[in-house]
Structures are given as structure tokens and as C-alpha cells.
Amino acid sequence: MTNENSAKTVGAGALLLVVLLLGGLINSPSAHAQSNADADRIQQGFAMAPVPLNLMGKSSYQVALVGRGSYLVNAIGDCNGCHTSGGPPNFNYLYGHNPYFLHPGPAQANPAEYLAGGANFSTALPFNVGPGLPYGNYLGPNIIARNLTPDLHGLPEGGKTLAQFRGVLRTGVDMDHIHPTCTSSTPVPTPPNCIPPPVDGSRLQIMPWPVFHQLSDDDIEAVYEYLSAIPCIDNKTSTPPDGAPNELRNNCGSSDNSGAVMPTEDSLARTRR
């Protein structure tokens, strides 16, 4: 069963579970003091998720994290504002639901590309690193928002563990080394996908990790848990980052994802935490 299918089948049961869980949270005296505001956010988080959520196999604690994670991803972090493959004119919104247009319907994200990555943040932007530096108007590599949807094992962001995910949000490290800092001082840098100094190519660019790194451990776990519950999307349509032809592809375990990155021994051996 694909994540997408299981998400559908589990939908009704999950909703019931959430209602029961929230009831429990709100009524439990021990959780009461800290939980009223949190329970509101969890409830709103579930209500605003633009895609069906797969809560199969999650403990009630993890289900609560999913709700809180949805709130952080959809109401605060605007992750889908950047991690989408949608182009003009609707970008990450469904046709007719772009709130920046005249007479739109209610704002609604396009589930077909939700958090699947693909937006390019540097096409044709001159990468002028300043006078006297050898790279002048060197066009920097394409900086492309990555696919954050889970793989067929339900691990977010194409197979990251919680520890890896936490490391990315805390330090901005690019675990895929897609655009290392250029080492050559010649005008044509090698490899061609590198970023000239003073930019640190080992860190994610554009991605607001210097802000997200201040999230609490619990909140990062909530974002992670939510990203494990959204449907897998194998983004075959967007141009991948330079030098990383498989970066946006994701193995959703369905028959139509030939060409997706297949799981390695290592990724199969990974456990959730």
C-alpha cells in the first residue's frame, strides 16, 4: 500500500483518534496547565493541514506532535511557500485559490505539489560577491528548495532520521553537499556547481535555518513528525539542483516511480529514532 493510499484509508480513524486524544489532553488534570494553548494549536494544526495525514502506527504522543507540527509548518514556518514546485501564476496555491489575486476563493495549497520542493531561488541572479573578488558576476548555482515529503518508510524528507533533521534545522548543514564552497580562484570555478567565498557552500542558502535553529527540541520533533505523516511525492517534474540529478526524486513505493532513488542498505536499516 502506498503512503497516499494508506493516508486515505486511515483518514476517518485518525480523525476519531485526534478527537479522543484532544479530549484526553484537555481533560487530564496533569496536562491541563500547559496544554490549553497547546491543545488549541494541535487542533488548529489538524484543521489546517492541506493534505490527508497518515497517522498509522503513531502513539497518541506522536499524533499530538503531528498536530503541533502542522501548526508550525503551515501557520508559522511557511515551509510550503518555498518548498513547492508550483510556478507562476499560482505557485503553491490551487488554481482559483491564490489569495494574492482578485476575487480568489479561500487560500488553498495545491496538494499535488505540497512540500515536494522544486522552486528555484537563483535562476539568473547575478552572484556579485563584491569588487576585487575573482568571481565578479559569476552566476551562482541554482538554489532549489528540496523535497520534504517522506519516503516509502515514512521517514521525512526522503529518509532523514530525527537526529539528522534536527542537525539540518539547527546548523543549516547541507547533508547532500550539493554546492560546496569553490576552492579554485580562477573565474571558472570547479566543480561548476560550487558557491564562491565568502559564502559557505556547506550551509543551506535561502533556507531560514538561522531562524529555525531557535526552535525547541520538541518543536523540531513536531515538525519532523508532521513531515512523516504527509503524502509522499516523487517530484519528477522539477529541475533538480545542479550536480544532483536525483535530489528531488523520492521513492514512494508505487509502481510509477521508476527512476526514483531506491533505498540503500543504510536507509533501510535506519530506524525512526
Nearer to ligand HEC, 82 or 233 (CB): 82
Cell of 44: 488548529
Q: How far is the CB of 19 from ligand HEC (least distance, A)?
A: 26
Q: Is 121 in the site for ligand HEC (CB under 6 A)?
A: yes
Q: Which stretch binds ligand HEC (CB under 6 A): 17-25, 90-98, 199-207, 258-266?
A: 199-207
Among 18, 182, 222, 223, binds ligand HEC (CB under 6 A): 223
Q: Are 205 and 193 in contact (CB under 8 A)?
A: no
- What are the two backbone dihedrals, phi and then psi, of residue 126, each rounded to the nearest 5 degrees? -65, 130
Residue 81 makes contact with ligand HEC by CB under 6 A: yes
Based on the shown chain and the rule CB under 6 A, indicate whether residue 47 belongs to the binding site for ligand HEC.
Answer: no
* Beta carbons within 8 Å of 73's beta carbon, 6+ residues apart: 79, 80, 115, 223, 226, 227
- Determine which residue in the list 212, 225, 248, 252 makes contact with ligand HEC, applying CB under 6 A: 212
Q: Which DSSP helix (H) or strand (E) runs through 67? A: helix 60-71
Contacting residue, 205, 213, 243, 253, with ligand HEC by CB under 6 A: 205
Which of 166, 176, 239 shows the shortest CA–CA distance to 205?
176
- Whole-number Å distance between alpha carbons of 189 and 139: 11
| Span interacting with ligand HEC, options 1-9, 73-81, 86-94, 181-189, rule CB under 6 A | 73-81
Binding footprint of ligand HEC, residue count (CB under 6 A): 25
- Site membership for ligand HEC, residue 91 (CB under 6 A): no
Q: Does 245 bind ligand HEC (CB under 6 A)?
A: no
Q: Looking at 7, 22, 168, 233, which residue binds ligand HEC (CB under 6 A)? A: 168
Q: Does 39 bind ligand HEC (CB under 6 A)?
A: no
Span near ligand HEC by CB under 6 A; candidates 13-21, 59-67, 129-137, 142-150? 142-150
Residue 55 interacts with ligand HEC (CB under 6 A): yes or no: no
User: In whole angstroms, what separates CA 55 from the centre of its chain?
Assistant: 18
Which positions touch ligand HEC (CB under 6 A)?
Answer: 73, 77-79, 81-83, 121, 143, 145-146, 148, 157, 168, 174-176, 178, 204-208, 212, 223
